[in-house]
Amino acid sequence: MGSSKLLSIIITSVLLAVVTCERVPVLFQGKFYNVTSGCHFKNPDIVRWHQFCMVLQGDKQVCTYKGRRKNRKIVPRYSNICDAMCHVSYSKSLKICPTTPGEKAKNFNILNHSKVPKPSRVILEYGKTGYIVTTGCKTKDFRIKRFYGLCLSEYSGGTICRKDTIPGLTLTFPEYTDVCSAMCHNNNLRGLNFCPVRGEIFQDDT
């Protein structure tokens, strides 16, 4: 999927977000299990982040091990990693459910962002030019910190640009270091898109 199409889907999904929480049956390895689905919090920021997460990672069902020794087996626990992050902090006991018999459960690639970097303005090298852009996220809500860390695990390198058009000229310039920071600073992402090339934060080595 192209980056521009991905961001368009994210914007639409976040704007239409309606989240409920319930127990739902899922079929796993020939047996039905009742798992937690959805996110029961009404905080609009949590709802936005949950739906944002669903677009990026909503297809990854969460399993955990149950029992001990010979009785130990993998069973589904949450509909997806986004629902799991709404209810519990990430631990290595949460696994990506295997999809075929004999397949081993895998760990999620999640950065530990219990201490989310504070918002700041940094110099980004982009197209041989330096731009001042925004990075980080200001939040005290531990659930948003979970979603932010999950987002950065896969999308920390996707610089976000804004496109402005004036008579006879279209300008595309970076505004955020990544889509996760953009999501944190905007109620929606209209007018923003993934940059054609990746920018690099300026490091002064002198």
Question: How remote is the C-alpha of 205 from its chain's centroid?
Answer: 32
Residue whose C-alpha is closest to residue 27's, from 82, 83, 88, 97: 97
Residue ending a domain, among 107, 128, 146, is 107
- The whole-angstrom distance between residue 21's C-alpha and the CA centroid of its chain comes to 19
Cα-flanking dihedrals φ and ψ of residue 133, to 5°? -130, 170
Strands (E), the chain: 21-28, 31-38, 62-66, 73-78, 95-96, 106-107, 120-126, 129-135, 160-166, 169-176, 192-194, 200-201
List the alpha helices (DSSP H) in the chain: 3-15, 44-57, 81-87, 142-155, 179-185
Q: Does some domain include residue 112?
A: no
- How high is the pLDDT of residue 32? 92
pLDDT at residue 99 in the model:
86
* Single pTM value for the model: 0.80
Q: Which domain holds residue 13?
A: 3-107
Same domain, 71 and 160: no
- Do both 74 and 131 map to the same domain? no
For residue 23, being part of any structural domain is answered with yes
Residues 8 and 102 in one domain: yes
Residues 94 and 129 in one domain: no
Which pLDDT score, from 0 to 100, does residue 206 have? 52
Q: How far is CA 1 from CA 8, 91, 177, 179, in A?
A: 11, 30, 21, 16
Please give the average pLDDT of every successive group of 10 residues along the chain, which has 206 residues. Answer: 55 52 84 90 86 85 87 90 88 88 84 77 92 92 89 86 87 92 85 89 69
Q: What pLDDT does residue 154 have? A: 80
Cα of first residue to Cα of last residue in the chain, in angstroms, is 40
The pLDDT, as a whole number, for residue 83 is 92
The count of structural domains within the chain is: 2
pLDDT at position 35 is 93
